[in-house]
Amino acid sequence: MTWELFAVFIGSSVRLAVPLLLAGTGELVSERAGVLNMSIEGMMLTGAFGAAVGAWATGNPAVGLLIGIVAVVPIALLQALLSNTLRANQIVTGIGINILVLGATTLGYREIFGARSREQIPGLAKWSPPLLGDIPVFGEAVFQQVWLLYLGIVIIVLTALVLRYTALGIAIHAAGAEPRAADKSGVSVTRIRYMGVMFAGFMSALAGAFLSIGDIHTFTEGMTRGAGYLAIAAVIFGKWTLTGTVLACLLFGAATALQFQLPTLGVNVPNAFLIMLPYLLALLAVGGLAGRQTAPRALGEAYIRR
């Protein structure tokens, strides 16, 4: 493998990992607060659809991104309401929302784009940081990326700081691990969990927008293809730590990048196997590679205030 090809591989691994990184960070916060948010997949698809429609209608991808975020708000509110206030089974809720969104976006796509389905949608611009972008070979292949990627990195770093060093971070952790104790010490468990789900929605919207207007500049039916579930697997693989989740997402991104890289190297592996690889890795990851699992103790259980 030449340096050029290696640089392209690293660059595409990072690019393919971005949707997982964004959604995985959102899911991590939601799970740490105690809500198993299975509707990440649907939230991403909503974000992808909203951003694509917005960018196409206004001609401005940044406005599209905003519309994608706004479109996810009702979905995230629904998930938060069902799993906190109505104490619904969080898994069932997530599955229902995912089916609903897949149907609704497919319907909306046919109605809005219909015959114009092959039309390119204006996408987010690329940007490369000074200095880093000037490194020979690697500069362009690795660092010249859609600006949303860099914004995402900033948000992930901020999330890490908040989780680790602030009272809010401690409250989030407490809401997922010891909700009753958290409640007694004056933290509103319900409010923290609503915020967790809304944050997951926001991050999923960014992730979905990255897929549609950041990466391929179009929307296709069901285009998330299980990325949301990979993000959930990444949280489990990362043992509910942000660093672990980020590393798992990068691994899944690299596994996805292989399907475009190996053929160019002349390695003859069946395409189907390569497409399957990220899911296979995710299964291995949640099935023991990570060791015994240490989920937040109250994960998936609605909190009932006495």
- Which residues of the shown chain bind other proteins in the complex (CB under 8 A)? 38, 78, 81-82, 86-89, 91-93, 95-104, 106-107, 110-111, 221, 226, 229, 232-233, 236, 270-273, 275-276, 279-280, 282-283, 286-288, 291-293
| Residues in Cβ contact with 18 at an 8 Å cutoff, skipping those fewer than 6 apart | 148, 149, 152, 207, 210, 214, 253
Nearest-approach distance from CB 285 to other proteins, in angstroms: 9
Q: Which is nearer to other proteins, 7 or 44 (CB)?
A: 44
Q: Between residues 109 and 199, which has the closer beta carbon with respect to other proteins?
A: 109
Cβ 194 to other proteins shortest distance, Å: 16
Neighbours of 245 (CB within 10 A): 26
Q: How far is CA 61 from the centre of its chain?
A: 19
Tell me how far, at minimum, the Cβ of 72 lies from other proteins, in Å: 16
19 vs 214 by CB, closer to other proteins: 19
> Which is closer to other proteins, CB of 243 or CB of 271?
271
Q: Which is nearer to other proteins, 260 or 273 (CB)?
A: 273
DSSP-assigned letter for residue 187: -
Token readout for 186 is 């004056």
The dihedrals phi and psi of 169, each to the nearest 5 degrees, come to: -60, -40
Nearest distance, CB of residue 263 and other proteins, angstroms: 14
- For residue 57, what are its two tokens? 């209608």
Place of tokens 């109505």: 86
The whole-angstrom separation of Cα 24 and Cα 130 is 28
